[in-house]
């Protein structure tokens, strides 16, 4: 759905502030105003901080920090286990509230999304509308949010980061040189640590440096992504707010932080089995299969690596996913202690569209299974379809995955 008007768009980016901690404070008022952190394993000093309240951040407590380190920085820090089911409920309520303002709502994660209020703004002054939304979310859900107002998604996202918590920031193209360009390029949405290091090598330290650099130089360094970053640094972004985007996806994955760093192959293999099980469950719900697998490995020194490979066949079964993930892990593991593991399947297609190509490689595998298939079919004909029972699929569990399928996790 697109606006029929050619006038400048008015986009809001709504960003829930310290979302998990804020939901805990809403549900438990005695926690308000206190330094609070959410951690997967608060009893263990090696547990990892998922998020923290602004009161805790004043002491230097940060996401991914170990519980022990956070406690040293803030001895009075309160730590709670995450309640993902509750966070999902509040997220759904928040997006439902936004859809009462306009149907042009695009969730991008459990705690943030865009809305296109171009049509609504004809009868509402945008800053007043943003204030109304912000206050209503706080009054009805008791959670704070910041809102960025801009003519496109990139600038709205950057604006919402400029004042937290409970901020409302307007960022127009004419404001770029004053509000956006002085910021370090690392603060720019879409610039990660590796990209930042590459940009530094060609003298780009600030967003202004990126905006004023010749586009071809940035594209030569970073490819098409460099071209996009250059355009956005200059305030251009033609992406629409797409309410249907939440239903599209390019990958399905999940990850888990281990209760303690490990080099145990048994523990690692078992963790991969659990991850493969979750990925299979999600793929079944989406009715898709995938042909590329990626694993994520985070070591105890926080170094994170990802490795992927294309597969000869489409896969969707946990055993296949597990086998490929472990094989990829064994190929790339440096034997150092592991803190986090993840599996992602990509190059997804609808199951009905996946036609197996019986090439030289897959034919051998299918041929080897043919006697088994024949025996199973004979038993079905003799004793009925019910002779073979599929193992029950364990109920899906909520994880810290930020994939687009969070709303129906």
Distance from C-alpha of 387 to C-alpha of 380, rounded to nearest angstrom: 7
Query: What residues are designated binding site?
Result: 15, 111
Query: What residues are designated binding site for Mg(2+)?
Result: 15, 111
Q: Which helix (H) or strand (E) holds 113?
A: strand 112-116
Dihedral pair phi/psi, residue 141, rounded to 5°: -115, -10
Distance from C-alpha of 77 to C-alpha of 56, rounded to nearest angstrom: 7
Would you call 217 a catalytic residue per the annotation?
Answer: no
Give the CA distances from residue 300 to residues 46, 122, 234, 331, 336, in Å, rounded to whole numbers and listed in that order. 10, 53, 39, 19, 8
Q: Which helix (H) or strand (E) holds 256?
A: strand 251-262
SS3 labels along 155-208: HHHHHHCCCCCCCEEECCHHHHHHHHCCCEHHHCCCCCHHHHHHHHCCCCCEHH
Q: How far is CA 197 from the centre of its chain?
A: 23
* Catalytic-labelled residue, pool 43, 44, 69, 112: 112
Residue 335 buriedness (CB in 10 A; 0-12 / 13-18 / 19+)? exposed
Residue 236 three-state SS: coil
Q: Are strands 168-170 and 145-150 parallel, antiparallel or unpaired?
A: parallel
Q: Are strands 304-315 and 145-150 parallel, antiparallel or unpaired?
A: unpaired
Please identify every residue annotated as catalytic: 112
């Amino acid at each position: 759905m697109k606006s029929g008007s050619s006038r400048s768009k008015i986009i809001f980016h709504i960003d829930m502030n310290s979302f998990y901690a804020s939901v805990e404070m809403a549900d438990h008022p005695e926690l308000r105003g206190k330094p609070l952190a959410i951690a997967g394993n608060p009893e263990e000093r090696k547990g990892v901080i998922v998020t923290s309240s602004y009161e805790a951040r004043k002491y230097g407590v940060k996401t991914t920090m170990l519980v022990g380190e956070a406690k040293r920085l803030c001895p009075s820090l309160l730590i709670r286990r995450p309640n993902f089911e509750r966070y999902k409920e509040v997220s759904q309520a928040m997006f439902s509230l936004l859809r009462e303002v306009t149907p042009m709502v695009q969730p991008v994660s459990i705690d943030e999304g865009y809305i296109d209020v171009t049509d609504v703004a004809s009868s509402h002054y945008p800053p007043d509308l943003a204030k109304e939304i912000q206050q209503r979310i706080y009054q009805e859900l008791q959670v704070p949010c910041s809102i960025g107002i801009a003519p496109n998604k990139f600038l709205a996202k950057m604006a919402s980061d400029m004042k937290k918590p409970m901020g409302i920031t307007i960022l127009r193209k004419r404001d770029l040189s004053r509000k956006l360009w002085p910021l370090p390029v690392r603060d720019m949405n879409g610039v990660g640590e590796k990209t930042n290091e590459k940009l530094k090598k060609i003298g780009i330290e600030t967003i202004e440096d990126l905006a004023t650099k010749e586009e071809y130089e940035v594209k030569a360094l970073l490819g098409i992504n460099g071209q996009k970053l250059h355009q956005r640094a200059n305030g251009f972004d033609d992406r629409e707010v797409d309410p249907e985007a939440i239903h599209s996806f390019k990958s399905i994955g999940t990850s888990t932080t281990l209760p303690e760093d490990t080099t145990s192959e048994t523990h690692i293999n078992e963790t991969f089995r659990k991850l493969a099980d979750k990925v299979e469950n999600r793929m079944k719900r989406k009715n898709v299969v995938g042909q590329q697998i990626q694993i994520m490995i985070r070591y105890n020194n926080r170094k994170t690596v990802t490795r992927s490979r294309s597969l000869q066949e489409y896969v969707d079964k946990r055993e296949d996913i597990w086998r490929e993930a472990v094989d990829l892990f064994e190929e790339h593991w440096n034997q150092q202690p592991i803190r986090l593991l993840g599996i992602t399947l990509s190059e997804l297609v609808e199951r009905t569209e996946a036609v197996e190509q019986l090439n030289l490689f897959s034919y051998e595998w299918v041929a080897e299974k043919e006697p088994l298939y024949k025996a199973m079919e004979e038993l079905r004909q003799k004793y009925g379809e019910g002779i073979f029972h599929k193992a029950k699929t364990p109920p899906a569990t909520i994880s810290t995955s930020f994939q687009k399928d969070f709303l129906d996790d």
